[in-house]
């Protein structure tokens, strides 16, 4: 049980760090895209990034609650695992929305600057494939 609770503590801390980093990245991207908005898609991208922001905040909240529960002397391992899995799912959903928003942004900006070329079509596809490969590698 001691080894399992130590692994859970490490997992909780990792998700808190990842979620807070993504909150900062999401807010930074939101601030930057409104400085030089693309010709179209700004409302959709803003909506996706704001929803992902809410999901990342929920992830931090669930992880903080799990960390608090672990500090109690008689913590319920099932309850802690529920908080951690909720945090993982909300982080995954938020990250997926960020990837979709970045793909839309990249595609629209490329269309604005270089026109209808193969590069503009390949960017979102390559971005999504690389992001999901990194997620798969991270989860194994």
Residue 125 has pLDDT above 90, yes or no: no
pLDDT tens per residue across span 18-53: 888 889 989 998 898 889 888 888 999 999 999 999
Tens of pLDDT, residue by residue over 61-108, are 988 888 888 888 788 888 888 888 888 889 889 988 998 898 888 888
Residue-level pLDDT at 94: 92
Tokens for 22, please give them. Answer: 């993504």
Query: What burial class does residue 54 get, using C-beta atoms within 10 Å of its C-beta: 0-12 exposed, 13-18 middle, 19+ buried?
Result: middle
**7 vs 28: CA distance, rounded Å:** 32
Take residue 136 and report the two structure tokens written for it.
Answer: 């798969």
Residue 5's pLDDT is what? 52
Residues sharing a CB contact under 8 Å with residue 63, sequence separation 6 or more, in sequence order: 12, 13, 15, 16, 19, 83, 84, 87
Q: How far is CA 99 from the centre of its chain?
A: 8
Of residues 103 and 116, more confidently modeled: 103
């Amino acid at each position: 049980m001691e080894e399992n609770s130590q692994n859970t503590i490490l997992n909780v801390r990792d998700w808190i760090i990842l979620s807070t980093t993504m909150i900062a990245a999401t807010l930074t991207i939101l601030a930057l895209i409104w400085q030089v908005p693309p010709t179209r898609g700004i409302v959709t991208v803003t909506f996706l990034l704001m929803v992902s922001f809410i999901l990342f905040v929920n992830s931090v909240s669930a992880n903080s609650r799990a960390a608090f529960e672990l500090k109690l002397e008689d913590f319920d391992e099932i309850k802690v695992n529920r908080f951690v899995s909720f945090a993982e799912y909300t982080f995954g959903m938020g990250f997926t929305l960020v990837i979709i928003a970045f793909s839309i942004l990249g595609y629209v900006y490329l269309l604005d600057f270089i026109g209808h070329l193969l590069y503009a079509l390949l960017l979102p596809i390559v971005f999504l494939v690389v992001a999901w490969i990194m997620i798969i590698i991270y989860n194994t």
